[in-house]
């Protein structure tokens, strides 16, 4: 019988755990199912430009703990909106037909797309256009619909928490207000979880626009109680009431060009002005995306990758493997493509933090 052939691509921002999931899919597909595996290089770029290579069992041996992605990734390549340079200008073209043809020529049983909402939104379109696709939920932001958790999130929260712990001691020594800005795009998951884990006094997330006077009050009240330092954990997408998030840069060739960042510095100036207390800002940025995955993410990635191979055998195309109430589930990509999953305002973690007098900048 002819061997089944599958391809894997990784799209969007990298995160700890991608290699763990590539390893799980590849090893199981080869060892248990006798499949042939192809790695598409640099996300959808490789699909459009027909760049790929075979993946053997040995190629993925020893990468469980490795950060990044051995296949490379892209945050700009979208076959339906592909930037092409024309002199000094950028032109956007729909090159999806060519990209789909490239994949069809490989004679694949399935294309496994590892990504966040951008990558899996594209995967959904590819599925509707005739490609057998299966998705795997990757992002530090945890903002993906159809799953309670994405791999990469626990690692990012762990790194952010370590950063907050380190900031805590120096804040205390110098009696300063220290602001830690963390990634998360338009969602506050990373800030909420690391803020709670790191004992942040003030946690600011995009879902709850903040009022500077409430923050200043909280800081002053702590000072009166003898706590002459405060820790503020702020999501890069956080915004003041009636205001906007801070845009760090626009990446023109990207279908989603806005890159957030810098709100921590804006807030720092405001706090200093309002309270007269020395305030410093640290931006954790891409540190949250690098290095080895936590044991939790390694286990999650292994489980998700293994389930994806079963789904290929069962021909459950057009779906993603998700986690619901601690079980692995199959979710239609249609559901995932509906847009980002933000933190619900009645989230138990917000309630718990509020009950300990943690301030969210709104009351
Ligand atoms: O989606 C992952 C993420 O790290 C977001 O948290 C962040 O807003 C964005 O990607 C940063 O993108 P870039 O790597 O292009 O700076």
Question: What mean pLDDT is reported for the chain?
Answer: 97
Question: 246 and 234 in contact (C-beta within 8 Å)?
Answer: no
Answer yes or no: is pLDDT of 247 > 80.
yes
237 ligand 1 Cβ < 6 A: no
Structure confidence by residue, pLDDT tens digits, 171-204: 999 999 999 999 999 999 999 999 999 999 999 9
Tell me how far the alpha carbon of residue 156 lies from the centroid of ligand 1, in angstroms: 12
Cα–ligand 1 centroid distance for 29 (angstroms) = 31
Q: Are strands 82-86 and 52-55 parallel, antiparallel or unpaired?
A: unpaired
Could you tell me the distance, in angstroms and rounded to a whole number, from the CA of residue 298 to the centre of ligand 1?
A: 21
The CB of 30 under 6 Å from ligand 1? The reply is no
Distance CA 79, CA 172 (A): 50
Q: How far is the CA of 361 from the centre of ligand 1 (A)?
A: 24
For the stretch 330-336, contacts whose Cβ atoms lie closer than 8 Å and that sit 24 or more positions apart, written own/partner, are: 331/146, 331/147, 332/146, 333/120, 333/123, 333/124, 333/127, 333/133, 333/135, 334/124, 335/145, 335/146, 336/117, 336/120, 336/121, 336/124, 336/135, 336/137, 336/144, 336/145, 336/146, 336/147
Q: Strand 177-182 to strand 230-235: parallel, antiparallel, or no bridges (unpaired)?
A: parallel
Structure token digits, residue 105: 């020529």
**Among residues of the chain, what percentage have pLDDT more than 90?**
98
Task: Tell me which residue of 305, 329, 322, 317 sits closest to 29, measured CA to CA.
Answer: 305
> What is the distance between the alpha carbons of residues 178 and 238, in angstroms, rounded to a whole number?
16
284-304 tens-digit pLDDT: 999 999 999 999 999 999 999
Give backbone dihedrals phi and psi of 47, rounded to 5 degrees, phi first: -70, -40
Q: Is the pLDDT of residue 1 over 80?
A: no
Q: What percent of the chain has pLDDT over 70?
A: 100
CB atoms within 10 A of CB 304: 26
What average pLDDT does range 331-349 have in this prediction?
97
- Provide the pLDDT for residue 341: 98
Provide the CB-side half-sphere exposure for 198 (13 A, CA). 34
- Per-residue pLDDT tens digits for 126-183: 999 999 999 999 999 999 999 999 999 999 999 999 999 999 999 999 999 999 999 9
Neighbours of 86 (CB within 10 A): 8
Tokens of 145: 């619909």
Is 232 in a helix, a strand, or coil? strand
Determine whether the shortest distance from the Cβ of 185 to ligand 1 is under 6 A: yes
Catalytic residue among 117, 141, 143, 297: 141
Annotation marks residue 141 as catalytic = yes
**Residues 209/242, Cβ–Cβ less than 8 Å:** yes
Whether the CB of 152 sits within 6 Å of ligand 1? no
What tokens were used for 222? Answer: 């702590």
Question: From the CB of 316, is ligand 1 less than 6 Å away?
Answer: no
Q: Which of 159, 230, 216 has its CA nearest to residue 193?
A: 159
pLDDT of residue 256: 87
Does 259 contact ligand 1 (Cβ within 6 A)?
yes
H/E run at residue 331: strand 327-332
Quick check: 255 pLDDT over 90? no
Instruction: Choose the residue to mutate in 10, 13, 142 for probing ligand 1, maximizing ligand atoms within 8 Å of C-beta.
Output: 13
Cβ contact 37:29 at 8 Å = yes
Tell the residue nearest (CA) to atom 8 of ligand 1.
185
263 lines ligand 1 (CB under 6 A): no
In the DSSP assignment, the letter for residue 285 is G
Distance CA 292, CA 283 (A): 20
């Amino acid at each position: 019988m002819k061997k089944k052939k599958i391809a894997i691509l990784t799209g969007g921002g990298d995160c700890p755990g991608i290699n763990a999931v590539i390893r799980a899919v590849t090893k199981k597909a080869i060892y248990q199912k006798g499949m042939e595996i192809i790695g598409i290089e640099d996300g959808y770029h490789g699909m459009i430009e027909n760049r790929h290579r075979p993946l053997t069992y040995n190629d993925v041996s020893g990468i469980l703990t490795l950060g990044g992605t051995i296949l490379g990734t892209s945050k700009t390549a979208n076959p339906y909106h592909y930037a092409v340079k024309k002199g000094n200008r950028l032109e956007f073209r729909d090159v999806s037909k060519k990209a789909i043809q490239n994949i069809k020529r490989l004679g694949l049983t399935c294309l496994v797309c590892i990504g966040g909402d951008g990558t899996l939104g594209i995967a959904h379109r590819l599925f509707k256009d005739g490609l057998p696709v299966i998705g795997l939920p990757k992002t530090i932001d945890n903002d993906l619909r159809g799953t309670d958790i994405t791999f990469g999130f626990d690692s990012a929260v762990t790194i952010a928490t370590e950063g907050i712990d380190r900031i805590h001691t120096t804040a205390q020594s110098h009696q300063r207000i220290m602001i830690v800005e963390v990634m998360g795009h338009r969602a506050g998951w990373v800030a909420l979880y690391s803020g709670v884990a790191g004992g942040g006094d003030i946690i600011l997330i995009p879902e709850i626009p903040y009022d500077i006077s409430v923050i200043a009050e909280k800081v002053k009240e702590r000072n009166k109680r003898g706590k002459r330092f405060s820790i503020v954990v702020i999501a890069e997408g956080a915004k003041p009431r009636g205001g906007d998030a801070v845009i760090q840069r626009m990446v023109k060739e990207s279908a989603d060009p806005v890159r957030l960042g810098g709100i921590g510095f804006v807030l720092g100036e405001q706090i200093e002005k309002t309270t007269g207390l020395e305030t410093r800002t640290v931006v954790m940025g891409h540190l949250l995306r690098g290095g080895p995955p936590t044991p939790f993410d390694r286990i999650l990635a292994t489980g998700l990758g293994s389930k994806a191979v079963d789904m290929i055998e069962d021909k459950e195309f057009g779906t993603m493997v998700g986690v619901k109430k601690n079980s692995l589930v199959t979710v239609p990509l249609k559901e995932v493509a509906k847009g980002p999953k933000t933190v619900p305002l009645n989230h138990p973690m917000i309630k718990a933090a509020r009950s300990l007098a943690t301030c969210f900048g709104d009351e």
